[in-house]
Structure 1
Amino acid sequence: MPRVKLTIAYDGAAYAGWQVQPARRTVQGEVERAWREITGEEVRLTASGRTDAGVHALGQVAGVETQTMIATEQIARALNAHLPDDIVVVSSEAAPPNFHATHDALRKTYRYQIHNSRTRPLMDRGYVWHFPAGELDAELMRQGGQHLLGRHDFVSFESTGSERATTVRTILRLDITQRGERFEIEVTGDGFLYNMVRAIAGTLVEVGRGAKPPEWVAEVIAARSRKAAGPTAPPQGLVLVSVEY
């Protein structure tokens, strides 16, 4: 059966995450409803991974098997006509017969945004972590982030409740930029554990505010305990930027 690859962007504020859940509004549920309305097919999308309640995406990827006669490149436009304003199918394209959005993903990039000011943000308040408790030092955060690069057991940065064969992951890139009161942590890896990026953000904030030295991050990795790391940063600052295959 032919497969279609969808790239999807969404504002996660109004949803209980990506994954379908009974009696709860989810991004996957909305896209599958729209698919049913344009094709008459009951389908189950397979995504690159789930995002939690309140987390956003610019480049979530999902695959679906279909027998629709709608031209593949027109599926995105058709779906968007049936989706709410906070979900957009960016593109639809033919996928190889054995394409699996989860298992075939080679790397993902996430971005976490922090608003470091005593004054809370207004226009973009739903897309940042407002951190008013002292000034953050971007250079200290960069130094701490260097300890995360490479292949490590990241169990110290994993929240409970996830299903995985191993907690070993590889961080390929971690950049921290500052533009005035706005801090961005952008990280690329071959995979991420449950709440891993949010735990990384919370840990680097501890370094940035001077509560911990940069080398403490290496100690957190070695401890192999979630209690050793910083707090889990709130969901609204996180966005799934892209998935590479």
Structure 2
Amino acid sequence: MKNIMLVIEYDGTNYFGWQRQPKKTTVQGEIEKAIKIISNEEVNLMASGRTDAKVHAFGHVANFHFNGRIPPQNISKALNAILPEDIAIKLSKEVDMDFHSRYSARGKTYIYRIYNSETKSPVERNYSYHVKDELDMDKMIQESKKLLGEHDFIGFSSTNSSIKTTTRRIHDIKISKKDKIIEMEITGNAFLYNMVRIIAGTLVEIGRGRIKVPIDEIIASKNRDMAGPTAPPQGLFLKKVNYLNTKNFDEFIDI
């Protein structure tokens, strides 16, 4: 038996998120069906995390146990030949049996995209959050720096009773604008449910001038009502998953 790791890119527009669900089209479900076609094996993909409906990924990571004869590096080619056009396997390789895409992860990087224009964009509608109002970029950048470090981010999360702690560490946050597109890139050791989208929604409201309370005070309050709205899913992209403490890390970090 081999442990196979996949790095996956997908456009989430037509999917009910990553996780397999009865009678719904999901990214996990499509890949598992494709694996069965090429190998006649039913597998359970273990993912680095879940994404919601309409969320996208450049570097989602998953692994599965495989008894087939296809060389690990050729699994990606075989799957890409039959997967839908909006899902691609960027890399397939054999990893140690103790590698787990979720439990071995040491961090993630997300991108959130905003289309900042008075006029909507039909092309961008599935890949960004349309914000008509002029935004104060300097204020957004200034306040975003207060998110850095380790904090209890319960005020920036949706309800999830299964987690043991709401403390997370944000390593880096960058906000840039090119033409009408604003990108927020956030790297952290882990994220709470909807945390990135709530951070994005809060920073947009700060940029609009609707939220005047400093972000450090919102964090300290631990009050979800003080933060901004949850920004829509189509602007969110999982850029990559980091495996800093594994021997496999340097081989696929920049894919």
TM-score above 0.5: yes
How far, CA to CA, are the matches of 2:240 and 2:161 in structure 1? Answer: 21
Q: Which residue of 2 aligns with 1:154?
A: 153
1:29-108 matched pairs, under 5 angstroms? 29-108=29-108
- What SS class does the counterpart of residue 126 from structure 1 fall into? coil
**Aligned partners of 1:115 and 1:129 also within 8 Å:** yes
1:1-245 matched pairs, under 5 angstroms? 1-132=1-132, 134-161=133-160, 163-213=162-212, 216-245=214-243
Segments of structure 2 that go 5 or more residues without pairing to the other structure are 244-255
Letter in 2 for 1:45: L
Give the aligned length.
Answer: 243
Letter in 2 for 1:158: S
**Cα distance, 1:33 vs. partner?**
0.3
Q: Moved runs in structure 1, 4+ residues, more than 2 A?
A: none
- Deviation larger for 36-45 or 158-167: 158-167
Letter in 2 for 1:163: S
**Cα displacement string for residues 19-66 of structure 1 (whole angstroms, at most 9, x for unaligned residues):** 011111100000000000001111000010000001000000001000
**Aligned partners of 1:109 and 1:241 also within 8 Å:** yes
TM-score by length of 1: 0.97
**Cα distance, 1:81 vs. partner?**
1.1
How far, CA to CA, are the matches of 1:142 and 1:15 in structure 2? Answer: 32
**Cα distance, 1:162 vs. partner?**
5.7
Segments of structure 1 that go 5 or more residues without pairing to the other structure are none
Letter in 2 for 1:233: A
**Aligned partners of 2:169 and 2:189 also within 8 Å:** yes
RMSD value over aligned CA atoms?
A: 1.0
How far, CA to CA, are the matches of 2:236 and 2:115 in structure 1? Answer: 12
% identical aligned pairs: 49
How far, CA to CA, are the matches of 1:146 and 1:229 in structure 2? Answer: 16
- What SS class does the counterpart of residue 126 from structure 2 fall into? helix
Letter in 1 for 2:126: G
Letter in 1 for 2:200: A
Residues 162 and 43 (structure 1 numbering): CA distance in 2 closer, same or farther, change over 3 Å?
Answer: farther
**Cα distance, 1:165 vs. partner?**
1.4
How far, CA to CA, are the matches of 2:192 and 2:186 in structure 1? Answer: 13
**Aligned partners of 1:11 and 1:56 also within 8 Å:** yes
